[in-house]
Structure 1
Amino acid sequence: MLRTVAAVVIDGVAPFEFGVICEVFGIDRTGDGVPAIDFRVCGEEAGRPVRTSVGASLTPDRGLDGLADADLVAVPALHIRDEYPPRVVEAVKAAHRRGSTLLSVCSGAFLLAAAGLLDDRRCTTHWHHAAEFAERFPDVKLDPDVLFVDEGDIITSAGTAAGIDACLHLVRREFGAAVTATIARRMVVAPQRDGGQRQFVELPAPPRQADSLQPLLAWLQDRLDREHTVTSLAERANMSERTFARRFAAETGTTPHRWLTTQRVLRARQLLEETGLTVEDVAHRSGFGTAALLRHHFTAVVGVPPKDYRRSFAHR
């Protein structure tokens, strides 16, 4: 069970990626039903400020001793360098030997690779650094075309927002769909982006517009059991259908129909885990209408039929 999370910070840490880890694991959401997590920010020395990649400083409360009994050691994006602080590298390696799960966001994978922890493993990092990573670490099986890679005891993610995907994936792996949905709703993000519960998710197209469709997406997630068309959604967004389709693809990396299908599968998965509803009822509540349509889309995204999934993952 995930009870203790230690985020490692050194000079050159990236504030956004560090903030993602803090947002998912460091905020007390026990009032919303999220299990309590002992969150620690650890540096080489407790109380010694480290410089971030944007010139500001942050001060860790704990030293490297905070990694000793952590269930998860998270390494945010860091300034890429030829060598990393030896004490930090050894502390991360020691935590892994003791059984800690490791999570890296973006260029944090460079530290794990420099420690030899990714040799002969599949991993990912930001596409911009992929060529340099592959050249420096030829024994690592780099996959630059995915949002994150889950190798069980080590999870690596691509750049920036992909860290959110990886963190929420780990939450779901440890705590289930309901807790993940609670955290995602508070963050105003989808609990899982398009691609389903595979070890990798296809990268979406990067956003190209300043105006966000996030309020509409949040509205849709509360109404997945209703019928929606591109026409009705474009009207709600006060756009032409053509502009809406273009904007939707830019912000989500997929079409409205495919996005809705994926979110409905996620809702069905949650209902299968947490309720005793029949598959037919799950189909209606998740917006598929019929059990046959649910089975078709659920199997395509998750990889197994709804009944098989329930046997493996239903809460007892």
Structure 2
Amino acid sequence: MIVVAVLALDGVVPFDLSIPGQVFGTANQAAGANGTQGSQGSPCYEVLVCAPGRSVTTSAEYGAFRMRAPHGLGALERADTVVIPGHAGFLDPPSRAVLGALRRAAARGARLASVCVGAFTLAATGLLDGRLATTHWQYAGELARRHPRIEVDPAVLFIDHGSLITSAGVAAGLDLCLHLVRQDLGADLAAATARRTVMPLQRDGGQAQFIEHPRPPAHPAALQAVLEWLERNLHRPLRLADIADQAGLSVRSLNRHFRAQTGTTPLQWLLRARIHRAQQLLESTELPVERIADRAGFGSSAALRAHFTRHTGTSPHSYRAVFRGRGPS
């Protein structure tokens, strides 16, 4: 039997907290139905909810309730896997007791996995230093700032280093736990668990497709006219020299002004604006990809697909399937 300890810190996010029990409990049901339970018919997983002091209040932002956990930090000592959900105080340093319990679990070979902003708690142990990690895309920059020895990738659903695993925001905890079931029990049982939780075993793309990509930086006064011109002419095959002529600047001066006022180059700004336009059209119209490529200035559907996939982590077709809104009937 695989023992999973779920660490509930005060202010724990209820959804994050419930994911491991839901997935691993469902895996037990699927194993029972398939006749692939552990020895003597025992469940494959035992899930222990653990909290310092046994009592916690869940995050007020998501509907607070008081909960008494059946286990304290001591239960981490016998866990094969420790799952660390997000909690409201994730920016505050964890207690010495929590850090010590996590480090001891790792030292004896337990697998540590964070859900969403639970990565901040795991990062505070120092165990992620020198490694690649992820968290909710909204807080990826803050994780990198607070822990410069961690390389943070905000575009993926989870990152697995074997004994240390981090997952992206919210529902990516489901992807993480299904991944662990696949590692522990094999692809067939993981697929059966996914079907019972009404989830794909592996989602297309990564977290990048869900990141809110704002419009390119606001128009500084010195570049306002040329940036507005660019937005009106995204469909045209613009060259750097064309943009410089419109701005009344040399190419060198144009690059310098763009760097200083938008933090990027003219062509990078143009590419981001075109991807943003393509996202809008995929979400709000039924135009074929070829027409969208033309309207957004990519020239061909192949170029649109290549740039779109590189920047969002998914294809235009998959993006539209997820984000296309239903208009009035």
TM-score range, shorter chain: 0.5 to 0.7
Q: Which residue of 2 aligns with 1:290?
A: none
Q: Which residue of 1 aligns with 2:78?
A: 69
Q: Which residue of 2 aligns with 1:214?
A: none
SS at match of 2:83: strand
Normalised by the size of structure 2, how large is the TM-score?
Answer: 0.59
1:144 to 154, 159, 164: 154
> Are 1:115 and 2:117 counterparts?
no
Larger Rg: 2
Relative to structure 1, is the Cα distance of residues 244 and 8 closer, same or farther in structure 2, using a 3 angstrom cutoff?
farther
Relative to structure 1, is the Cα distance of residues 82 and 51 closer, same or farther in structure 2, using a 3 angstrom cutoff?
same
CA contact (8 A) 1:130 1:144 kept: yes
| Offset at residue 52 of structure 1 (A) | 3.1
Q: Per-residue displacement from partner, 1:146-194 (whole Å, max 9, x unpaired)?
A: 1110111111001011111111111112211111111111110101112
For residues 159 and 15 of structure 2, the distance between their equivalents in structure 1, rounded to whole angstroms, comes to 20
> Are 1:173 and 2:180 counterparts?
no
CA contact (8 A) 2:115 2:167 kept: yes
Q: Which residue of 1 aligns with 2:199?
A: 189
SS at match of 1:32: helix
Q: Which residue of 2 aligns with 1:304?
A: none
Relative to structure 1, is the Cα distance of residues 183 and 206 closer, same or farther in structure 2, using a 3 angstrom cutoff?
farther
| Offset at residue 206 of structure 1 (A) | 7.0
Q: Which residue of 2 aligns with 1:204?
A: 209
SS at match of 2:109: coil
Q: Per-residue displacement from partner, 1:199-237 (whole Å, max 9, x unpaired)?
A: xx4633479xxxxxxxxxxxxxxxxxxxxxxxxxxxxxx
Normalised by the size of structure 1, how large is the TM-score?
Answer: 0.62
Relative to structure 1, is the Cα distance of residues 243 and 185 closer, same or farther in structure 2, using a 3 angstrom cutoff?
farther
CA contact (8 A) 1:4 1:71 kept: yes
Relative to structure 1, is the Cα distance of residues 44 and 177 closer, same or farther in structure 2, using a 3 angstrom cutoff?
same
1:56 to 62, 65, 79: 65
Matched-pair identity in %: 39
2:112 to 87, 98, 102: 102
**Amino acid in the other structure paired with 2:21:** C
CA contact (8 A) 1:120 1:139 kept: yes
> Are 1:38 and 2:38 counterparts?
no
- 5+ residue gaps, structure 2, are 38-42, 213-284, 293-312, 322-329
Relative to structure 1, is the Cα distance of residues 145 and 256 closer, same or farther in structure 2, using a 3 angstrom cutoff?
closer
SS at match of 1:38: strand
| Offset at residue 60 of structure 1 (A) | 0.8
**Amino acid in the other structure paired with 2:104:** A
The number of residues matched between the two structures is 216
CA contact (8 A) 2:137 2:211 kept: no
For residues 131 and 203 of structure 1, the distance between their equivalents in structure 2, rounded to whole angstroms, comes to 14
More helix by share: 2
Q: Per-residue displacement from partner, 1:44-95 (whole Å, max 9, x unpaired)?
A: 133x243334321222111111111111000011222321122111111110
